[in-house]
């Protein structure tokens, strides 16, 4: 549990959940693994980045597995961070 806590604490100020920046990567998954957060933090070196989820048309929040009907969107302030993340993180998503 300590590793998870340190990963979350290492997200730079102004970055994180529901932070939207110019450079976007629409993934093909519905979740963001902690290992991906760690890797992106290393890539971005303190620069801003964020993630959000885009609900699908059939989203029904009352379903038990509602989270399956969304897509993870990663966003970056720096275009090179987006490119490097696609190269280094895609295998985790």
Distances (CA, A) of 85 to 56, 61, 81: 24, 30, 6
Domains of the chain by residue range: 7-60+70-92
Write down the pLDDT at residue 59: 86
Write down the pLDDT at residue 68: 86
User: What average pLDDT values come out for the chain (93 residues) when binned by 10 residues?
Assistant: 54 93 97 94 95 92 89 97 97 92
Write down the pLDDT at residue 17: 94
Predicted model pTM: 0.85
Write down the pLDDT at residue 67: 84
User: What CATH number is given for 7-60+70-92 in this structure?
Assistant: 3.30.70
Give the H or E element holding residue 16: strand 16-17
């Amino acid at each position: 549990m300590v590793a998870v806590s340190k990963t979350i604490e290492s997200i730079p100020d102004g970055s994180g959940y529901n932070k939207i920046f110019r450079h976007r990567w629409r993934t093909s998954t519905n979740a963001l693994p902690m290992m991906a957060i760690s890797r992106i933090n290393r890539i971005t070196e303190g620069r801003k980045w964020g993630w959000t989820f885009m609900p699908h048309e059939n989203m029904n929040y009352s379903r038990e597995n509602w989270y399956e009907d969304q897509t993870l969107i990663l966003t970056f302030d720096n275009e090179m961070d987006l490119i490097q993340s696609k190269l280094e993180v895609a295998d985790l998503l």
